[in-house]
Amino acid sequence: MSDRFTADQIAAGRRLFGGPSRFVMGAAGLEHLPPASAVEIAVAGRSNAGKSSLINALTGVNGLARASNTPGRTRELNFFDVNGRLALVDMPGYGFAKAPKSEVKAWQAVLRGYLRGRPGLTRAFVLIDARHGILKADEDMLDLLDEAAVTYQIVLTKADKITPAELAKVTAKVAAAMKKHPAAFPEIHATSSVTGAGIPELRAEIAGLVETL
């Protein structure tokens, strides 16, 4: 339990994600993006970082994010509606598939265009496997976000897989690395989609973004 959030903020997070969440659409290119929502948050992470599991844990809808993991969907921005109040955008996992260079470039152009040109994109959450910390592929994504001037925040995943002492260590290390990144929000979330640790706090953080509007 974090002392960064009050009981009211935790309750606001629970309310936001307590309503219905649904998959809206996948967009493979900028011309396919849905109309901008008032508040949009993006979720990014290396393949296997635990992105689908976290989206399912946040929304409480098992299997919600699975659609975005099916072949063919891997190069799409997948849009979810949360309670009619928030667009949650699942960015494709990076750093895993050995795609041809030309394809990677084309896809990066789509990401760059999305990140730069999206009114309402309030924050990106970059998921980092707590066992691994920040790897090269993550650095590339952080650079892209810095460049696009999208505020982002690190979410450590799979916190249940390491000891509290190890978690404290990786959190400190990631926090130190974030000092180099101008668009990074300094607070780091530690979560487990298995135990639910950190999920109420992350919901509260997101609810805060919706409510400041």
Q: With respect to ligand GDP, which residue has the nearer C-beta, 9 or 53?
A: 53
Strand order in the sheet with 121-129: 21-27, 77-82, 86-90, 40-45, 121-129, 152-157, 189-190
The answer to whether residues 51 and 45 touch, using CB atoms and an 8 Å cutoff, is yes
Contact residues: ligand GDP, CB under 6 A: 45, 47-53, 69, 93, 157-158, 160-161, 192-194
Q: With respect to ligand GDP, which residue has the nearer C-beta, 9 or 193?
A: 193
Q: With respect to ligand GDP, which residue has the nearer C-beta, 9 or 191?
A: 191
Q: With respect to ligand GDP, which residue has the nearer C-beta, 184 or 199?
A: 199
**What single DSSP character describes residue 50?**
S
Closest distance between ligand GDP and the C-beta of residue 94, in Å? 10
In whole angstroms, how far apart are CA 68 and each of 31, 51, 52, 125?
Answer: 19, 10, 8, 17
**What single DSSP character describes residue 71?**
T
Q: With respect to ligand GDP, which residue has the nearer C-beta, 52 or 210?
A: 52
Closest distance between ligand GDP and the C-beta of residue 135, in Å? 13
Closest distance between ligand GDP and the C-beta of residue 119, in Å? 27
Closest distance between ligand GDP and the C-beta of residue 120, in Å? 24
Closest distance between ligand GDP and the C-beta of residue 213, in Å? 28
Count other C-beta atoms under 10 Å from residue 26's C-beta.
19
CA 55 to CA 65: how far, in whole Å? 6
